[in-house]
Structures are given as structure tokens and as C-alpha cells.
Structure 1
Amino acid sequence: MRLRQLRELVLNENHDLGGLLPGWVGNFSLNLEKLDMSFNSFRGEMPESLFYLSSLKYLDLGNNNLSGDLHEFYQPLVFLNLGSNSFSGTLPCFSASAHSLSFLNLSNNSIVGGIPTCISSLKKLTHLNLSFNHLEYAISPRLVFSEELLVLDLSFNDLSGPFPSKIAETTDKSGLVLLDLSHNRFSGGIPLKITELKSLQALFLSHNFLSGEIPARIGNLTYLQVIDLSHNSLSGSIPLNIVGCFQLLALVLNNNNLSGEIQPELDALDSLKILDISNNKISGEIPLTLAGCKSLEIVDFSSNNLSGNLNDAITKWSNLKYLSLARNKFSGSLPSWLFSFEAIQTMNFSGNKFSGFIPDGNFNISLNFNNGDIVQRLAMEPFDVMRNVEIKISVLVIGGNELSFSYHLSSAVGIDLSDNLLHGEIPDGLFGLQGLEYLNLSYNFLDGEVPDLEKMCSLRALDLSHNSLSGHIPGNISSLEDLTLLNLSYNSFSGFVPKKEGYRRFPGAFAGNPDLCLESSGGDCGPASLPAVPGKSSEEMEGPISVWVFCLSAFVSFYLGVMVLFCSTRARSYILHAKV
């Protein structure tokens, strides 16, 4: 009898609590206002009694394994979280909660169909999260939310059509803080109405089919902290007025068709931590004024048409963790301060026209380069990690309208100076970095000898190919247990490569070194060569190749013999006579 007066039941975060949700949860108390059974292992459909429990205001069943179609709730809910389950069907209107529901999370389910316009009748709604579903079709222009809405997340669906021109009833009075429409199929330009959402702090429109220019009036959004317009087809230059977003922490514009130059006025963004303009058509030099962006931690200018020498503006980015200038047209010598960043994790200058020597700086400054105790390694191949760097930005609205910003950088610890015009000897300090996971110096004009690699205990990939390196190959390879890629091909190494040193696990690593001999299974010395098939030695392929060559030779000999017979008048007459 006493349970009938129960107002709150909280049984969350008990992973051993599972099975079907019992039918009595909606019946045992007519006064139950809050039911929280999130982060458990419940499965099956929701009990029908929950849809009719009139006293219920707060329902949290998120992060379970519940399934079945969503139905209308017949009580005025205030909070509803059914996220991270397996619910299906189409979106209901939640009509009974039109004047009460403030929080609605249905993310990470299998909901299909379009977004009904009746959702806009939820006048008290502050948080709406429908991300990671299978929603499709265009958004109706009649789907306009109230000024109360703070968070709108429709990301990772299949929504299409033109970008919604109006989000709120009165955009200039809207309290919207976070707008995420990324990973859909929206097309057309970015509507100017977006620039009237004065309270907006995070704008995610990436991975769509948006075109046209970035609206110049985006600088009116002075509270913006995150702009992600990446992976679209936007063109034109980066608008100068973007400096009006002086609180920006992340500006992500990669994988578009942007052109023009980097504006010197961007130095006004002195809080900026992430600047990614990679894979565009941006040209010119890095302005000296960018020294004002002292908070930068992630900088990716790769795959553009940038040129000129590296200037000292970069030295002011003292918190750098990731710097990529790869695949541009930079030239000149590498500066002496190249390895002077304490927090640097990845440095990629490949595919440029840098010349001169690799600076012999203080390699002990970087904590990541020198930390051999790496707890977690990325499962991807090291050079793949370098090409597929991932930066995950996370934002969370807390305390009403305050934005919490964080990011995670997924990249191995490495240096890539490949495909340049560098010459001279490799500084010994590079081979003493205990935390370095990959080092790529291939396709340069480097010479001299390579010291032992025994100090590089974290090394997973080393590519020194296509240079003019000489002397004996580095020893102690067998002690580097994590080394999975070694390429010393096409140099001028000489001497003897003993079989017992563990070099045999890198087939083709020594090809193109004519003065280098490898110990064979019989103890003889043979030339280094690339395997006929990647991952297989020439010895393994010798039998099949010999048989194939023999068969081909026999066929050619037979064919030539027949042709000779037919070309001979006497032989041709004999053959024709025999047929008759």
C-alpha cells in the first residue's frame, strides 16, 4: 500500500538489471511522477501502461535494448528520453505534451519517415535530439520551432532538400544555442536567416551537399564558438566578417571548394584552438599576423595551393598538437624552430618543395616525441593513421545556455617530411625519440649513414626510401617489437644483412641497394629485391613462376612452328593434300 504513494523510482546504471520491462511499472503507483531506468539491459517493448500513467512527467529509458514502434503518450510529459535503443516506426506528435514537454531525446534508434510538422506545436521544447535515425525527406517550411528551443540535433539522418530557411518563429529572438544538421543530404545555399540566430554558439552543417558562398553576415553571430561547414561544395573565399565571431574555438572548413587567400585579419580570433581549411583551393602565404592566434592547437592547411617560406608566426602557436602543411607549394629551408613545440604529436610537411638540411634542433622538447610509455595505440596502420587523422568535436549545453567544448585528436605520434627536396645527413636526434611511432623521410636527397634504432622503442613505421643514404643498414631491428613497416629501398646501403636480425619480416625493404647483400637460407649472400607479390618473398613465388614461364615458352614455340609450316610452299601443299 505504501508503494502506491511512490513519486520517484530511479533504477539507472545497473547493467545486470535486464529482461523485459514488467507491466506493473506503470500500475503500482498512481502518483509516480519520475521513472528512471536508463543505462540498464532491458529489452522488448514498453509496457502499454506507461503510455497512460497520468501522473508521469519524467520518463528516462535511454541506453537499453528496448524495441517496437513508438506510440503517442497520453499524459503531459515534461522530460522524455528514449535514446540509444532500437525503437522503430514513425515519429508521433506528442500532442498531450504540447504545452509541457521541454526535453525530447529519441537519438540512436531506427525511426523512419519524415519529421511531422506537428512537432513544432511543442511550445515548451528546449532540447530536441533526433540524431542517428533513418529520418528522410525534406523538412517542411511549416516546421518552425518556438523561441524556447536551445538545442536542435537532426544529424546523421537522410534528410534532404533545400536547407531549412527558418528554424525559429522569430529568429532574432530565438534562444537556439546548438544547431546540428550535419551528415544529411541537404542541398542549396546556407540561408541568411541562419545569421540572425543571435544566441547560436555551435553550428554543425558538415557532410551535406551545400553550395554557394559562406554568408558574409556570419560574423553577426558573436557568440559562436564552433563552426563546422566541412565536406560540402562551398565556394568563394573565407568571409572577412568571420572575425566578428571573436569567441570562436573551432573553425572547420575542410573539403570544400574554397579559394582566395588566408586573411591577415584572422589574427583577431585569439581564442581559436582548431583551424582546419584542408582540401580546398586556398593560395598565397601564411600571414605573419596569424601569430595572434596564440591558442591554436590543431592546424591543418594540407592539400591547398599555399606557397612561400615558413615564417615565424607559427612559433607563437606554442600549444600546437597537430600541424599539417602537406601537399602544398611551400619552399625554402626548414626553420630551426621546427621541433620546438612541447605538446606536438603529429607534424606533416610532406609533398612540398622544402630544401636544405633537416634542422638539428632540440628534439627533447616535445613530450610526445620523447615519451616511450604510450599506453594506447591506434589499431590502424601507422601511415594510414597519418592520412586519416580524425578530430572529434564534442559540445554539450549545460546550465541553461552555456556551451561546454572539448575535442579528441586521433592521430599517431609521428613526423613526415617526405616528398621534398631535402638533402644532407639526418640529424642523430631524430633517431633518439622514444615516443615516435612513425618517421617518413622518403623521396628526398638525404645522404650519410643511419644510426642504430634501439632507442626508438615505440617505432611502428620507418620509411627512408628513395634517398642517397649509405653505409650499413641500422642494427637492432629485431628489438623493435612494434615495427610493422620498414622501407630502406632505393638508397646506397652496402654490407651484409644477417638473417637472424629479423629483417626477413620486411620483404622488399632493401630493394634498389645494389651493394647490399641479404643472407639466404643456405647462408649465401644474395641481392635484395622486391617480392613478386606484396607480402611474399621471391623464394615463395619461384615454383609457380617457373611453371608459368615454361608453359608460355612452349605455347610460343608451338605457334611459331605452325606459322613456319604454313609459310613454306611445300609444307602447305602437303597439309592441303592430306586434308583432301
Structure 2
Amino acid sequence: MEHKWVSGFCPCNPLKLRALLLIFLVLVCSNLSQCFDIYPQDKDSVLLFRSLVQDPSQSLSSWVGSNCTNWTGITCENQTGRVVSVNLTNMNLSGQLHPSLCKLPFLEHLVLSENNFTSPIPLCFGSLRSLKTLHLDHNRFQGIVPDTLMKLRQLKELVLNGNNDLGGLIPWWVGNFSAQLEKLDIGFNSFHGEIPESVYYSKSLKYLDLGNNNLSGILSDFHQSLVFLNLGSNQFSGTLPCFSACVQSLRVLNLANNSVVGGMPTCIASLQGLNHLNLSFNHLTYEISPRLVFSEKLLVLDLSNNELSGSLPSKIAETTDKSGLVLLDLSHNSFSGEIPLKITELKSLQALFLSYNLLVGEIPARIGNLTYLQVIDLSHNSLSGSIPLNIVGCFQLLALILNNNNLSGEIQPELDALDSLKILDISNNKISGEIPLTLAGCKSLEIVDFSFNNLSGTLSDAITKWSNLRYLSLAQNEFNGNLPSWLFTFPAIRMMDFSGNKFSGFIPDANFNMSKNFNNGELGKMQREPFATTHSADTKVLIVVTTGTELSFNYVLSSMVGIDFSNNVLDGEIPGGLFTLRGLQYLNLSRNFLRGHVPDVEKMWGLRALDISHNSLSGHIPGNISSLQDLTLLNLSYNCFSGFVTKQQGYWRFPGAFAGNPDLCLESSDGGCDPASIPVVPGKAFEGEEVEGRISVWVFCLSAFLSFYFTGVALFCSARARNYILQTKA
């Protein structure tokens, strides 16, 4: 076989050869033009700037030699070698800015975003007369904006966002110093005072972000074609302007978290290009006019946390098959009446928040038509009827939150179709029946709250399929039967609350090492809140509408790492493994029929609250709790403990924790036994917990009656103690 080699220069047509040579020369010249030297004086200036910069990531290590194309973040003009751009975004740089940076007369773009530069903004920046872009956002600049910046007549973008110590008054000149200024972003700083009048009339301005400062004053209308306006999280007052100059241009309007008053003017709906409208956390009042109908371009409407009243608007926005509202939040208002059927026509809707209103009636049966829905929150209303079966049509649902209503009926087996569901909260309703076995199909569940209903039956094995479970509450229902052996097999569980039921039998002595939270805890990551606010779960759903119509779902679960089996009819001994869970913060086994000795608590390093009161526990008080520095609530009252409790054991911090243990005494100041130091009535260990319940001490410690008789008479002279005893016995 003959091989024919073809060289780079082959016999060709002369015209073609010339064309090839021309292309070759163009490519060579192009490459050569990219290999130019940085202008010597500019090089010296940039290297002086680097001399004061701390660069732990060695991001600027390429600043050697003279070839400008090799210098990270530096762009030079290809004919002269003059530096025209410095972009050092997110390079983990810190320190101060050397004034040599101001000796770059041809610099057009200076971007130092997302670093840790400190010191005030250099005064000499005003000498950079060619500057078009100045981004100093997300650093640690401090002081005020220097007036020398008003000399930057060519500036198009001034971005100072996210410098917490940068503040003072907004400079009076900021709206008219540059006829080219299109973007002004000074959000998340410490500016105060009013918006300068020049800002309202800056004709070139398109993007204005003054959010998250301490600005105040009466809201005024703007007189330019803004595209983006964020004044959120300030102290602005007055009524809502019409923004008539922005009718065609405005895309984003955020006035959240201010003190805007009055009603919703119908002229707001004339903003035809509006995509995002956030007026939450203000003082808006009155009803929403039926004439207030936004265009189909509106994607996000948040009117939550106001004082709006009347019926929910039957039509809030136009909708088409391809566009329409993605997020609607009308929660935390005073809307009344029923949920209008028109809401089920918002086919693009992905998140619906109507919680904390005065809504009545049933959940619309056609809600399942909203097939894109990911979040439904109708909690804290007065809705009645059953959960509509049609809701399974929302097959993309991630959170179904219906707690604190008057819903009844049973949990429908067909809910297993919601196999993407992460949060299911139907607590504080009147739902009855058993947990359907088919709910095993909801394998994505992470937070389940069925508490305060009329549910009954034994624990369904369907629960074992919820392998990602983080929070499970079945409290205050009518469940019965034994606690299953699989109870502690959930690796991500934080809180398990089965209190106030009729569970019987032993606490299973299972493998307690399955849960990483029970064993390791997350105390370092969790805010130290008072116990009463962290016993139950506080779930905050976070929704962000990203590019286009994409919705990003997340949630934050605030809950103690704990177990609550209180107020049942459990018997037997406490498993020793339960008291070896180093991450457990809360353990409540009170008001059962538990007996035997209490295991040592010294290994429960994260313990903050322990209640094993009103049982039949006996023996000596276990171990030493001096090392449990986070323990703030302890209740061992109304058992049959005996013996001598020394001060070295650390229990002296909780003198009221031992009431109702007649054979127990605490070490007195002289080292003796002082039974009188143990009060008859304990302090209320857990705020919000009902005091009612059986006093088992009369059943298993009858002899205590005589020893406490005279003390009880004396205590009845105290009104506070008398009321507590009467409530307890009741």
C-alpha cells in the first residue's frame, strides 16, 4: 500500500497560495498583538499597589515580567500597553489600597469586589478621569464616600454594596456628577438620611439599589426610566407612588420592610413590564381594588406582613399558557372570606402563601390544576373540610403546610403520589383516622408534623420508608400500642415528639447510634435560644426566583435535638443507651410509669433540658452533672428516689427539681442532710407545658403523706404554692 504524505506547502493555484499566506500573516500578527509589554510607569504603579496587599492565595503571583497578557486581572491597551482594566474579583485579597493605583490615567474599569480590603475609599480615586466602572462591593471599606468621586464624569457604574462600615449621608452630587451613570448600588451599608433630590432626576440612571441601609424620609416618585429599584429594608414612609415615569421600563420594584402606609393604588398595575413586586413588611391597609390586575409579565408578587383586609382578589394578575405569576405571597394580613377559585387558574404558580389570615371555607378542589406548585402554605386560618384529593395533581409539591386550621376527615391514601414532598405539616387540626400504609411512597419526607389532631392506631411501618426524616411529631393524638424497635433508625433525625398519646410497653432498647444528631449534636451551629422557643419546630421556607421563572426551594429547621415521650403509659426501665447520646439537648420522659434506676447522665454533653418527673423511678440520684454546663432545666420530681445528694454532684443548681421524693435529702450548708430544703412543689420545668396530670406519688409512695402533712399546711399559706398544688391535683 502506498502512503502519500502531504506537506504544509503543496502545489496550489497561485491565487489560493496568496490567500493562504494572507491568512497566515493575519494570524501571526494577531498573536503578536497579544504579546505586548505593560507600560513601564503603569507597571510600577501596579506593583506598588501589590506591595500593600495580602495575598494568601497567591492570586497575583503572575505579576512578573512585562507581558501584560500574563498578569492576572490586568488588561492593557494593545497599542500602547497602558492599563485600562483591573479586575481582582473574589481573590481573597486584603489590606489597604496603595495610592499608586490612582496613577493609572487610562484606567476605565476598577473592580475589587468580594475581597477584604479595608480603610476609607481613597480620595485620589477622583483623579481616575477615564474611569467608567468602579466596583468596591463586598469588602470592608469604611467612612464616607469622598467628594472627589464627583470628578468621575465618565462613570457608568458605581457599586459600593456590602461594606457595613461605609455610610454617612448619601452625597448630594451622586445623581448629577456623571451624565453617563446608569447603575448606582450602595445597598447593605450604613447610609442614613434622605435620598438626595438629584437621584430622583438622574436621567441616565437605570439601576438603583439603596436597600438595607438606615435611610428615611417620604417616598417620592422618580422621574427617569428605571429598570431596577430597590429601597427595601430602610425607614421610608408615606404612601405608594405610581412610578409613572417607569411604566414601560421598570422590571423590579422592592420596597419591603419600610413604613409605607395607605392602600394599594391601582396605578401600580400600569407598570406593564414589572416582573418582581415586593411590598412586604409595611403598613399597607384597606382592601385590594378589583381593578388592580397586573400584567402577565409579573412573576413575583409579595404583599405579606401588611394590614390588608377584605376578600382575596378574585383576579390579581393576567395569565397565559406560557407566562404568569410564579410566586404569590399574601400571608400575614387580615384577608377574610374564602379562597377564590380564580387562584386555581394561575397555571404558572409555583409557590402560594396565604397563611396567617382569616380565611374560611374549604380548600378549592381544583387546586390540583396548579401542576407546577412546589409550595402550598395555608396555615393559621380557619379553613374547614377535608384535604382535597385533587391536591395530588400538584405532583411537584415539596412543601404542604396546612397547620392551625379546622380541617377534618382522614389522611387520604392517595397522597403517596406526592413522592417529592419534603415538608408535610397538618398539625393543630381535627384530622382523624390512621396513618395510611401508602404514605410509604412519600420517601422524600424530611419534616412531618401530625401533632394536635385526633389520629389513632398504632405506628405504621410506612414511617420507616421516610429515610431522610429530620423532624417527626405525633404529639397530642390518640395513638396507642408499643413503640416499635425501628424508632431510632433515622440517621438525620433531630426531634422526635410522641408526647400526649397512649403508647404503652417499654422504650425499645435499640441501636441509638444511628442518628448523627443524637450522637454528635450541632450545638456549635445552633443559636442559643430560650427553651420555650425551640421545643417545637420552626420551619422557614426560603424561596428564591432565579433567572427566568426558575424557583429555588430551601428551608431552615430550628429545633432542639431531642426526644419527647412524655404523657403516655410507658412502663419498664429507661434504656441505658438513651443516656449515652452526647448530642441530645432535650429529653422528656415525664408522666409515664417508668421504673428502676436512672442511668448516669454524665455522657450527655449537649443536654439542656431533662424531665423524668412523675414516674416510679427509684434508687440514688445518678452521677455528677457539674460538667453539663448547658443544662438549664431539670425535673426529677415525684418519683421514689432515695439517698443523699452532695453538692459536689452539681444538683444544687436545681433545688426545685427533687420535690415529691420523700426519702431523698440534699446536703445542707453544714454538710448534713436537710430534707426541708426540698420543696413540696417543683417549679414549672418546661414553659408552656400543662400542669394537669396524675400525681403518681400517691400511688407508689403513700408514706410521703404523713411526712409532708405539716409542711403542706404551711405552704398553703402561700397563694402561689396553693394555686400550683390545686392545679396539679386537678
Same-fold call, TM cutoff 0.5: yes
Q: How much identity, in percent, do the aligned residues show? A: 76
**What is the rounded CA distance, in whole Å, between the counterparts of 2:655 and 2:333 in structure 1?**
44
3-state SS of paired residue (1:289) = helix
- Aligned pairs for 1:208-287 (under 5 A) are 208-287=357-436
Which residue is 2:476 aligned to?
A: 327
Show the counterpart of 1:361.
510
**Equivalence for 2:573:** 425
Q: Output one character per residue of 1:416-457: Cα deviation in whole Å (capped at 9) or x when no partner.
A: 000000000111000100000011000000111112111111
Q: How far apart, CA to CA, are the structure 1 residues paired with 2:646 and 2:481?
A: 40
Q: Residue 482 of structure 1: CA displacement?
A: 1.3
Pairs within 5 Å for 1:116-515? 116-170=265-319, 174-372=323-521, 374-382=523-531, 384-387=533-536, 389-515=537-663
The count of corresponding residues between Structure 1 and Structure 2 is 540
Partner letter of residue 266 of structure 1? L
1:170: how far off? 4.2
Question: How far, CA to CA, are the matches of 1:6 and 1:425 in structure 2?
Answer: 76
Alpha-carbon spacing, 1:535–1:115, altered in 2? closer, same or farther (3 Å): closer
In structure 1, give the amino acid aligned to 2:577.
G
Distance 1:380 1:58, change over 3 A: closer
Q: Structure 1 stretch 378-387 or stretch 173-182: which is displaced more?
A: 378-387
Q: Does the 8 A contact of 1:372 with 1:457 survive in 2? A: no
Amino acid of the residue matched to residue 475 of structure 2?
Answer: A
8 Å CA contact 1:138–1:159 kept in 2: the answer is yes
- RMSD across aligned C-alpha pairs, in angstroms? 1.8
Report the CA distance between 1:51 and its aligned residue: 1.0
Counterpart Cα distance in 1 of 2:376 and 2:664: 54
SS of alignment partner, residue 35 of structure 1: strand
Are positions 1:16 and 2:165 aligned together? Answer: yes
Deviations 1:506-558 (A, max 9, x none): 1221111122222222333233632679499xxxxx9xx89x89xxxxxxxxx
CA distance in 2, matches of 1:498, 1:515: 15
Decide whether the 8 Å contact of 2:657 with 2:682 is kept in 1: no
Contact 1:182-1:204 at 8 Å conserved across structures = yes
8 Å Cα contact 2:656/2:682 also seen in 1:
no
Distance 2:320 2:459 in 1: 44
The 1:234/1:373 distance shift into structure 2, 3 A limit, reads closer
Mean Cα displacement is larger for which, 263-272 or 511-520?
511-520
Q: The residue matched to 1:318 in structure 2 has which SS? A: coil
Gap regions ≥5 residues in structure 1: 537-541, 550-580
Amino acid at match of 1:11: L
Question: What is the CA-CA distance between 1:57 and the residue it aligns to?
Answer: 1.2
Q: Is the 8 A contact 1:171 1:196 kept in 2?
A: no
Cα deviation 1:219-247 (Å, max 9, x = unaligned)? 00000000000000000000000000000
Cα 1:351–1:70 shift into 2, 3 Å: same
Q: Which amino acid aligns with 1:260?
A: G
- Cα distance in 1 for residues equivalent to 2:221 and 2:493: 53
- Partners of 1:381 and 1:23 in 2: CA distance: 46
Q: What secondary structure is seen at the aligned counterpart in 1 of 2:392? A: helix
Seen in structure 2, the aligned counterparts of structure 1 residues 533 and 292 have a Cα distance that, compared at 3 Å, is closer
Instruction: Tell me, in whole angstroms, the C-alpha distance in 1 between the residues paired with 2:540 and 2:320.
Output: 29
* Cα distance in 1 between the residues matched to 2:380 and 2:217: 35
Confirm or deny: 8 A CA contact 2:456 2:479 kept in the other structure: yes
Question: Hey, which of these two has a bigger chunk of strand by percent?
Answer: 1
Extract unaligned runs of 5+ from structure 2.
1-128, 131-151, 686-710, 719-730
Measure, in 1, the Cα distance between the counterparts of 2:522 and 2:191: 40
Provide the residue aligned with 1:573 in structure 2: none
1:62 is matched with which residue?
A: 211
Q: Which moved more, 1:68-77 or 1:347-356?
A: 68-77
Q: Structure 1 residues 355, 535: CA separation in 2 closer, same or farther (over 3 Å shift)? A: closer
The whole-number CA distance in structure 1 between the counterparts of 2:551 and 2:594 is 49
Work out the CA distance in 1 between the residues paired with 2:334 and 2:381. 10
Q: CA deviation at 1:381?
A: 3.5
Q: Give 2:75's aligned residue.
A: none
- Provide closer, same or farther for how the CA distance between residues 46 and 275 of structure 1 changes in structure 2, counting only shifts above 3 A: same
Residues 174, 197 of structure 1: 8 Å contact kept: no
Following superposition, the deviation at residue 10 of structure 1 comes to: 1.6
1:140 positional shift: 0.5
Which structure has more relative contact order (CA 8 Å, sep 6+)? It is 1
Return the alpha-carbon distance in structure 2 between the equivalents of residues 258 and 339 of structure 1: 31
Cα deviation for residue 380 of structure 1 reads: 3.2
Q: Which amino acid aligns with 2:641?
A: F
Q: Counterpart of 1:236 in 2: which secondary structure?
A: coil
Deviations 1:466-506 (A, max 9, x none): 11111111111222111111111111111111133221211
Residue 563 of structure 1 aligns with which residue? none
SS at the partner of 1:234?
A: coil
Question: In structure 2, the residue corresponding to 1:128 is in which secondary structure?
Answer: strand
Q: CA deviation at 1:175?
A: 1.5
Q: Which amino acid aligns with 1:445?
A: F
**CA deviation vs aligned residue, 1:3-32 (integer Å, no higher than 9, x gap):** 333222222222222111111111111121
Post-superposition CA distance 1:347-398 (Å, at most 9, x none) = 00000000000001100000000005630444334355214x2100000000
- Give the direction of change, closer, same or farther, for the CA distance of 1:179–1:151 in structure 2 (3 Å limit): same
**CA, structure 1 residues 519+14, in 2 after alignment: closer, same or farther (shift >3 Å)?**
closer
- Displacement of 1:146: 0.1
Which amino acid letter does the alignment assign opposite residue 423 of structure 2? I
Deviation digits for residues 133-183 of structure 1, max 9, x if unmatched? 111111011100000000000011111111111011346665210000000
Q: Could you tell me how far apart the structure 2 residues matched to 1:127 and 1:372 are? A: 40
Q: Matched residues in 1 for 2:682 and 2:551: separation?
A: 54
The answer to whether the Cα contact below 8 Å between 1:423 and 1:446 also exists between their aligned partners in 2 is yes
Q: Which amino acid is the alignment partner of residue 481 of structure 2?
A: G
**In 2, Cα distance between the equivalents of 1:482 and 1:303?**
30
| Structure-1 separation of matches of 2:460 and 2:516 | 24
Q: For 2:278 and 2:483, how far apart are their aligned partners in 1? A: 48
Q: Are residue 6 (structure 1) and residue 155 (structure 2) matched?
A: yes
- Aligned 8 A contact 1:382 1:438 in 2: no
CA distance in structure 1 between the aligned counterparts of 2:311 and 2:198, rounded to whole angstroms = 41
Max radius of gyration: which structure? 2
Helix, strand or coil at the partner of 1:393: strand
Shift, 1:37, TM fit: 1.4
The one-letter code matched in structure 2 to 1:422 is L
Does the 8 A contact of 1:383 with 1:438 survive in 2?
no
Write the distance in 2 (CA, Å) between the matches of 1:155 and 1:145: 17
Residue 196 of structure 1 aligns with an amino acid whose one-letter code is E
